[in-house]
A and B are shown apart, each in its own frame.
Chain A
Amino acid sequence: MTTPVGPASPPPNGPALGGYDDAMSALYATLSEVQQSDASAGESQVADDQLQQQNEEAQQRAAIQKEQANQANSGGGFFSDIGHFLGDVASDLVHGRIGDAFEDGGHDLEQAWNSPKFWSDLETGLKDVAMVAGAAAVVVGSAGVAGAPIAVGLATAAAYTGAVAEAGSALAGARVAHFAAAAEDASADATADGDHIAQLQSLTSDVIANLKQSDQSHERALASLTQSIETNDQTLVEASSTTVKG
């Protein structure tokens, strides 16, 4: 990702000839130092950006995992979690581990509480119960109106069961909606992290491009200086030889 930058032009050869060459040599050295300084600053910024990028990538992975964990099909189902709970508690009780029974039971209940699939199954199941109970209430109620008083009591019980199941389904639905919202929030966080990563990559590209541009600029300046020193030396030599010939 970084561009190695070093002194592109060799330092002026030979001893300095006169004050002009001394000044040019000093300028050359200063420019070389500036070039190195720019390169170091650019490399440092690129390293910082890459470090920040790694952090963002870790956050994005965590957000994606959270999103997946909150999907409706994630976690154990209703019967699976109930089975685990009953199995663990029964096993602990059979082996006389009362304390473990509470601990394992609590752990299983916590898992069920945090399982989107458990609540999704519960909501669906309670909806089905409410539907069946409602239908039963209508059918049995019709019989009761027709003249069977005991059927009225059954119809009322079915209606109550349906209503309670409907309410339970609605409460389970709230929990399901909570998981869906958490998944959406996690998705938004993952998107934000992805945007930041793209932004950092763009920033790094800009820094590298500017670094290259700065480096090329320094190269040109150093080349011009070298040429200036050479031209000055040639002029001095030519002037000297002309004087000797004259």
Chain B
Amino acid sequence: MEPIQSGQSLPASLPGDEPALTTALVCTGDPGAEMAALAIENGDAERTNAHQERDAEEATEAQANAAEVQKMHDEASSMRSEGVFDAAMGVVTAAVTVAAPIAFAANPAAPAATMAQSQAGAARAGAVAGGLFDSMGKLGDSFFHATQHDDEASAAADRASAGQNGDAVKDANDTAAAAEATISSALDFDRSYSSVEGQIQLAALHRA
């Protein structure tokens, strides 16, 4: 599966929002224009930072999500290995349980009392060998279960981390919206200020 590329593009710079132009306006000597230009500059910087923060948090969130999925796959892999291990141990245990009494079997020509004792010993040997391999199987199971629990815990931690990154993305979006509102207010102020200034100059022209 191909990774999702962050394809969002920031809006193109426009005459009204251009930081270079606002920087030039800061030094015009017109207090209203300077104030508006400074507000726009600040808003633009804040918006850029918010967008960068949002992109970074989104990338981190994606990484945490990928790590969670990887841990789930690791757990599945461990479950599969455990199944194979259990099967192998089960077969070996059964083989030893069957083979041990045969190996300890008494000589058929031996007296009955000796034969009975040998059979009892063989049965005990089979039980001991079977129990030994059974214990080894349980030990292996414990190891696999512990690994699976570790993977589950890691996946849960990654999920929680991704949730935190998601919250941070929302915060960054809110910050960007606030910055955008600041820029809008500054531009509205500048427009009103320019309009009033023009009206004053027009009135002066009339009076002259």
Q: Which A residues lie at the B interface, using CB under 8 A? A: 31, 34, 38, 41, 45, 49, 52, 59, 141, 144-145, 152, 155-156, 159-160, 162-164, 166-167, 169-171, 173-178, 180-182, 184-185, 187-189, 191-192, 195-196, 199-200, 202-203, 206-207, 209-210, 213-214, 216-218, 220-221, 223-224, 227, 231, 234-235, 238, 242
Contacts and interface: CB of A to CB of B under 8 A. Distances in A.
Interface of B: 1, 4, 6-12, 14-17, 54, 58, 61-62, 65-66, 68-69, 72-73, 75-77, 79-80, 82-84, 86-91, 93-95, 97-98, 101, 116, 119-120, 123, 126, 130, 162, 169, 173, 176-177, 180, 184, 187, 191, 195, 198, 202, 205-206
Contact of A177 (B10, B86, B184, B205): B86
Given A160-B98, A189-B69, A213-B180, 10 more contacts: A59-B1, A166-B97, A167-B90, A171-B91, A173-B83, A174-B84, A181-B83, A192-B69, A199-B62, A203-B7
B101 A159 contact: yes
A200 B90 CA distance: 48
16 contacts: A160-B98, A162-B97, A166-B97, A171-B90, A174-B83, A180-B79, A184-B72, A185-B72, A187-B72, A192-B1, A203-B6, A203-B8, A207-B7, A209-B177, A214-B12, A221-B15
Contacts of A209: 173, 176-177
A159 B187 CA distance: 91
B14 A221 contact: yes
A177 B12 contact: no
Given A38-B12, A220-B16, A224-B15, A159 B7 contact: no
Nearest to A34: B12
Nearest to A192: B69
A217 B17 CA distance: 7
Given A203-B4, A207-B8, A224 B16 contact: yes
A206 B8 contact: yes
A213 B195 CA distance: 24
A217 B13 CA distance: 9
Contacts of B95: 163, 167
Given A176-B83, A207-B7, A210-B10, A163 B76 contact: no
A137 to B, nearest CB: 8
Contacts of B89: 170
B80 A181 contact: yes
